Chain A
């Protein structure tokens, strides 16, 4: 996750003129584009940490848009995909949407439709990034807990009361309460439920 998070719109279409024209249109709406006329080059270039969305042609020589989508999914790439197609091919649209495409647009595409879909796609990806960043921060905070705080947190996640924790850890209830308070503060959470979520997420990421 070292790449910059300024969002990119990837335009993948074997027709260079079309890709260029779409790129130009997107730039007038303030987007930054990267254009690929070869699906293979695109797959070599995109990184999972790249923030952005993908405008993907369906029929391309060598590799279809659906195959590109499949490749990305198998590599766990999450950038939203909007398909652009020259054929009103319903089964293909169904397949693409089932496989997680955000939308399936027919060429020539209306400016409003295209721009609103791209905005929606970028928003979705930004959310993904925000969530990912929040998770990362949460994990980091859990890692920074002291041994006692962590123990208290884990018991909390198991649903133990302070009294039960005191019993299990052979500490006074007051001490447990103190560790618990410090843990909440370090995690930067307002309530027990948030704390439990962070701890469980960190545990899940750790396994």
Chain B
């Protein structure tokens, strides 16, 4: 289209030639001036296409149409195809065709046209928006009117942004992975170190004959628990990296909750945390990705347990309740720990935000995205005076889409 405009303007706007002789002509002239101002200031061109004669009238300001004065020209529509980038022709033609045959009212599209022969970029990016003004009895467009503008620089900037965003996303991903690997290494190392020390101690005691069978059995049992912790971590790692697609299955939420509590049994026992449940269901089947929901429940329960870490023994309480209202299921998980400081409330769900010296800051952000993928919501109950509570709101049952 740009190329079209680079032709010498052969027919200036009529208003330019005629002297204002009558009020009507005066009005016309003023109207022309307004149009010219609009086109010039907006740096846009106008086209008026008659599909029956297949002629197009272009009115364009100087724009990127480099050094062309505002003017109008009439060309054959086939000229348009000749100047459009071969890769864009099919798409652009399709858009126009849909408007012509009545499938759409008009079009808005970007495509590339040949740059001016005397230098500059080989291809210019043009954004063209057209609207059908008249149709014949069969519904085919007779006249399409619209505007076009050269947006090569905008498109270039968008492309640069896109590349930068992609690089940033990739860097973030790499950093996140590194962070995750580091935190996992630490998490695995901790029980491993304990296990090693237990085994060293028991080997020495057996050699020294300074341990009874019962004592040894107790140490071995503790060692096993540490090995189990490593296994749990590996299990969670698998959960994290298993196919990220949401698989849909029906499962009993209560069983999943019990599984999660089982994973945390070690910490709950060590810290002497009381677990209080309020749930009047024996079974509660929901639809969704069981592994992902399990991960969310784990993350939130884990946070609750961490919050109770330094709480007076016997007073630390983890409470969960499950309610069903209408088509929704509300899972509330609360702890009576120190609560969340007001200044970090709105950062809780940010990725990489953490208050734990050994945390990744990913738990809550991953959890929220999982719950949202299940068309639910994960929120923090901020009305509490003491402790903290998270609320998961999930649709009770969705139709399982059969592939």
Contact = CB atoms under 8 A, between A and B. Distances in A.
B214 to A, nearest CB: 15
B201 A28 contact: yes
Contacts of A29: 204
A60 B193 CA distance: 16
Contacts of A28: 201, 204-205, 208, 210
A111 B186 contact: no
Contacts of B309: 61
B167 interface: no
Contacts of B198: 21, 24
A86 B201 contact: no
A16 interface: yes
B235 interface: no
* Contact-size category for A: 20 to 34
B357 A108 contact: no
Interface centre among B193, B196, B310, B358 (most CB of A within 10 A): B193
Contacts of B270: 16-17
B189 A24 contact: no
B9 interface: no
A25 B204 contact: yes
A21 B194 contact: yes
B358 A109 contact: no
A94 to B, nearest CB: 19
A87 B358 CA distance: 11
A126 interface: no
Contacts of A24: 197-198, 201, 205, 219
B186 A86 contact: yes
A25 B356 contact: no
Interface string B294-310: 00000000000000011
Contacts of A107: 189-190, 192-193, 196
A86 B310 contact: no
Interface string A70-106: 0000000000000000110000000000000000000
A15 B357 CA distance: 14
Contacts of B204: 25, 28-29, 111
A59 B195 CA distance: 19
25 contacts: A15-B190, A17-B194, A17-B222, A17-B270, A18-B193, A21-B194, A21-B195, A21-B201, A21-B222, A22-B197, A24-B197, A24-B201, A24-B205, A25-B200, A28-B204, A28-B210, A59-B358, A61-B357, A62-B310, A87-B186, A107-B196, A108-B189, A108-B193, A109-B193, A111-B204
B226 interface: yes
Contacts of A64: 357
Interface string B179-193: 000100010011111
Given A17-B226, A108-B192, A61 B200 contact: no
Given A61-B310, A61-B357, 16 more contacts: A16-B270, A17-B222, A18-B194, A18-B197, A21-B222, A24-B197, A24-B205, A25-B200, A28-B204, A29-B204, A86-B186, A86-B189, A87-B186, A108-B195, A109-B193, A109-B197
Highest count of chain B CB atoms <10 Å: which of A15, A25, A61, A62:
A25
